[in-house]
Structures are given as structure tokens and as C-alpha cells.
Amino acid sequence: MSKEKQLINQENMSKKPLSKTITSPIIQEKLVSKVNELTLNSSTKEPRLSIQNPISETEKNNNLNYKNYKDVINRIVEISNTNDIDEFYKSIYSVILNNVDSTFFAIGLYKEQSNCIDLKLQDKLENIYSTKIFLRDTTNPIVQVFQTHRPAYVDKQDYLKLFYYKNCSTAIYPLLSANKCIGVFIIEEPNAKQNATLYSLISKHIALVTHNLQLLEMSKEFVNTDNLTLLYNHRGFQEILSKEIKRSETNKQPLSIIMMDINNITKINREQGHAKGDEVIKIVAEKIRQNVREGDIAGRYGGDELAIILPKTTSSQAKYVAEYLTYSLSCCFIDGIGPIKVSVGVATYPDCSEDREKLLILAEQAMYISKAKGYKDGMSAIISSKDFNFWDNVALQSYAEVVAKRHAQLGVNFEDELISQFHNENNLTETKIWEIAKSLAGAIDAKDPYTKGHSTSVSKYSEALARAINLPEKEINRIMLGALLHDVGKIGIPENVLKKEGPLSDDEWAIMKQHPVIGVDKVLQPNPSLRDLIPIVRHHHERIDGKGYPDGLNGKDIPLAAKIVAIADTYHALVSDRPYRKGLNIEKAISILEEGAGTQWDSDLIRTFVQIAPSLGV
């Protein structure tokens, strides 16, 4: 085992590998009622904690005078009207340390999953220290206060294991809300006993606000919880990811995403029923909850896809976590199915991308590559988006699958990303150009399910017509490649225009007619390897009578290759299903082509195409 893996393993062993427990959504109504009750008590009624006669004359003369006493309480109440618990604590630390003669101040919250007090301490120099106090340490005063619900005053602070401050007197108060202790409040202050009333009021107020915010957070979680897995649903996962990426950007820290796909789930649903498939998904979700590190966030990304956000995690660390998860899953045997197997992809911020959507698509692409590579020694291939060549055959195919599957959900234009990668590629071979062209065509066709495979079919029909008129092999290959990219300019056409079911308006048609020029300017012209395809892509919508676009060419001015692609393009459009009609039969499609011979299409080419069309299929 490498040193890096040993370090990660030690870190994981030191934490209880359980994520946040989510209880049944059935109690949501009770939670919301409790939230409303606490909110009314703590914020909506302009709260001011009563300080009438709480202070003895002795207390008034001690460390904290009566005026400051009131100021501290009122300032704490003023900062309590917030929905952000981190912001609330930040303000609490500031108020206490700026108004009380205290060296340091700490708040510790109980974490049920790890059975410990998660303590955060800040001193006057704004140094921050974090530690965990496990409840099994019953000799620790913090544990005793938490369990007995009674404050304690300690002359030494050895129990905090901080050697920067020696022989400091501290006061520990339980954070009590609704007869439940949710943590502790600790302050270093020589006269803590004399100011006990103040600190008791502060601890109760912190507890009330904290409990309120925790309940609000829980109610939000139920809205964003997947009922089957009890993980975050797709919306909740996306919201958390956005926040975590912003936090990573602010703190200059990495963040990784693990994407998992349960293999053969479709087959399981088909052969053994959806109840069995749901059982598998639930087991995978439970294993993830049990084995991810504290602070990691898991969600159901799709039907059989689960994803995990790993803050402060590099790509190599994420792959190690993924290996541990896949091993745990492989140990689960299900009757009639055997061990659970998953495909796993990893993408890391900011190394792979700084954009949330692109990061997800790269993780999903890596997952598809993992699925293509299968298993080695019975274990899934763990693939990071940093591990593969973008133009590798499997990578390109995986990219096209992702775009085809997720296109409607994508918030960024991944066809543009593909083109950008293409233009930055050096030493393009003919084979690689074909691979890229197929991937580009697949990405374009994926925008509209009714035109899936259109570009490939047009290329096939164009090849058949070119061979029928005995063109040289080199020219046939050029026509096939041009036909494959004939619609590449639709990258720049809005989807509401591309997918419109009825006739286009004049304005919409003006936009649509720009796609040949967009294809030339955006894709072909910048790349010397593709410039000989420009006449095909630019002129495949020209007409023999000069009424076509974009240049209004007629007759012999239209390149022969463009005339061939124009016929193939029209024929496939006629025989394919559309949102507004079923595809025409071959006889009807041929009759339409014959009617347009000599005006829209070249008569000689139409005559040849009519002869070969019945053998082409749809």
C-alpha cells in the first residue's frame, strides 16, 4: 500500500464512516410544526431576553459590569435572526470575545453518528482549533456536563488538550433545548462563577437558535430526500454541490465527485421485477451511507446512478475511497443476482473543471469508460477523468452516450467543449478525424430524439449515391465525411427552434438557415484538416433553381458533392418519424424527390438515387 493510501486509511479509521442519518419523511409535518413553534419563540416576536432582576449586587460589581451585561445579551439576540448556522456561530464568537474578558470561547455540538462532541474553539487572536470529544471518555468534564445537563467550573483546561493556555479557569454549560442536550458552551473567564447568570442565558439562547436551525435544515432535507434510498435526490444533490464548490473555491481546496452506476439493473428489473431492482438500489445506498467518510455527501443522481461529493479530496484520494466502496459492495451477495457490481467514475475540482455541470459530465463520462473496461480480478475499474485520452475510442463513445442521455439537463454547451478540444488537438490522423466527426454528429443528433442517427444515415445514403455514379474512392470518403458533418452548424441553433413541432415562423426560419454558415465558420474553417469539406457543408441546402440558401447558387455552380448530400439529407428526413408526422414510405418519398428533380435537386442524380433507394432501407 502506498504512503498516500496509508494516510487516507488512517484518516478514515479515525472517523466513524457514517454519513448523516435521515429519518423517515413521515415525521416531516411534526418537524415543520416544531420549527414554526421555535421560530415564533425565537425570532418573529422581536425577542429580547429578560434581564429584570437576574443579577445580584455582587455580580454587578464583578468582572462584567451591568451595562456590558445588557449589551452582550442584546447583541446576541440581534444576530440570531439568521438561517445560516455558520454565520450565527461566527457572530457569536465575535460578540463574546470582543465584550468579555475571555481568552477563548468554544461551542461543541453532539454528533450522533460518531457519538462525540465536535468542538470548535476560537481565541482572541482569531486562531481556531477543532477537536472531537468522544462520549466514552467519561472522565472528561465536557462529557459529564453533556450527560448530567449541569454546568461545571474547571480550574485547569487539560481536558481540552490545548497546551497553549495553561492553568486557565473555564466554565462549561450544557446547550439545552426542548429538554434535550445538543452540545456544550465553554468559556475561559476568571470570574465565570460570578457571571453565571449571563452565561446560562447565553447557553440557553445558543441552544434554542441552534436547535431551530437544525430543525429547519432537517425539514429542507426531507424536501430534497429520495424516498427509496433516503439519500439526497437529484435537486438536493445539485444544491449541495453548488455550495461545496463555492466553499472549495473560497478555501482553495480540491473537491471530488464519485459517480456510480449499478450494473445490470435494467436486466434485473426486466427478469426479476422492479421490487428486486429497488432492493439492490437500497442496499447500495445503505452501503454508501455506512462507508463514506464524515463530511461526504451522497445522492441519487439518476434511476440507478448514485453520486458522492467528497470535499477536501484529491483525485487519488477519491479513487481510494471508491475502491473501498466497490470492495464493500462486492461482498454483498443477493439471492438470484450474486455480488453487486458497479461502474465508477471520478472527477475533481478544479483539476478537471471549475464548472459544476462540466464536472458532473466528466464524472459520468469516466463512469461509462469504467463500464466499458469491465472488471479486473473481480473488481470494478475506477476511472478518473484525468486518466484517459479525450480522443480515445472508448472515451469518445462514452462522451456521446453522456451527451445523448443528459442533453436536456445540461446547463453548458458540451458540443462547444468537443469542438474546443478538437481545435486544440495536434497531429490529427484520418482515423482520428473520423472518430471526432462521429462524436460531433452524435452530439448534434442527441439534441433531438426524432433525428437520432440522422447524420450517420445521410453519410450512408451519400456514399451509396457517390458509388452509383462511379466517383473515385478518395472523393467518396470526402463526401461521406462531409455528409457526417453536414448539420454541424446546428450547434449554434437554439433548441426551441430545432425542436419546434409545427412550422417555423419567418424569424425562426431565418435563424435555422444560418446553420450551414455556422458549421463552416465555427467548426471547419479553423481546422486545416477539414477545410476541403466546406463546399459540402455550406451548400447542401442550395437548389438547382437558385432559391436555396445561404448563397442562392444554381445549376452547375453548386458543387457535385453538395448536390449528393442534399438528396441524401432530404430522403432521410422524408422517411424518418417527426414530432408532427410519421415517416413516409419509400414510394411516397421517391415520388416527392422526382417532383423536385430539375428545380430543387439535380435531375441526373435523382434518377440514379431512385434506382438505389429501395435497397438502402430506413
Q: Where are the domains of the chain?
A: 1-22+225-388, 24-222, 413-618
Other Cβ atoms within 10 Å of 97 Cβ, number: 19
All three cell numbers of 247, joined, read: 466553499
**pLDDT of res. 35:** 40
pLDDT digit string (tens) for 147-195? 999 999 988 777 876 656 666 788 999 999 888 899 999 988 878 788 8
Pairing type for strands 342-349 and 382-384 reads parallel
Residue 48 has pLDDT above 50, yes or no: no
Q: Select the more confidently predicted residue: 117 or 501.
A: 117
The CATH architecture to which 1-22+225-388 belongs is 2-Layer Sandwich (3.30)
Average pLDDT, integer, range 325-333: 86
**pLDDT of res. 411:** 43
**pLDDT of res. 310:** 95
pTM score of the predicted model: 0.46
Element spanning 406, H or E: helix 393-406
Residue 416's φ and ψ, nearest 5 degrees, are -60, -40
Residue 63 has pLDDT above 60, yes or no: no
The CATH architecture to which 24-222 belongs is 2-Layer Sandwich (3.30)
Q: Quote the mean pLDDT of the chain.
A: 79
**pLDDT of res. 463:** 94
**pLDDT of res. 19:** 37
pLDDT digit string (tens) for 295-317? 899 999 888 889 999 999 999 99
User: CB neighbours of 498 closer than 8 A, spacing ≥ 6?
Assistant: 447, 448, 490, 512
pLDDT digit string (tens) for 205-229? 888 888 888 777 766 666 778 888 8
Give 31-91 as a DSSP string: HHHHHHHHHHHHTTT------SS-S-HHHHTSSS-HHHHHHHHHHHHHTT--S-HHHHHHH
Residue 602 has pLDDT above 60, yes or no: yes
User: Could you tell me the pLDDT band of residue 41, with boundaries at 50, 70 and 90?
Assistant: very low
**pLDDT of res. 389:** 62
User: Could you tell me the pLDDT band of residue 55, with boundaries at 50, 70 and 90?
Assistant: very low
**pLDDT of res. 426:** 62
CATH 3.40.50.2300 fits 413-618, yes or no: no
**pLDDT of res. 172:** 93
Residue 105's φ and ψ, nearest 5 degrees, are -145, 140
Q: Please give the Cα distance from 490 to 475 (Å, whole number).
A: 25
Q: What is the DSSP letter of 582?
A: P
Lowest mean pLDDT among 79-83, 224-228, 350-354, 565-569: 79-83
User: Could you tell me the pLDDT band of residue 482, with boundaries at 50, 70 and 90?
Assistant: very high
Average pLDDT, integer, range 495-500: 74
pLDDT digit string (tens) for 558-598? 999 999 999 999 999 888 876 556 778 899 999 999 999 99
pLDDT digit string (tens) for 358-411? 888 888 888 888 887 776 655 678 888 887 765 566 666 666 666 655 544 544
The CA distances from residue 212 to 31, 42, 54, in Å, are 10, 8, 25
Measured on CA atoms in the order 111, 115, 117, 118, is the torsion positive or negative? negative
Nearest CA-CA partner of 107 in 18, 256, 213: 213
Residue 131 has pLDDT above 70, yes or no: yes
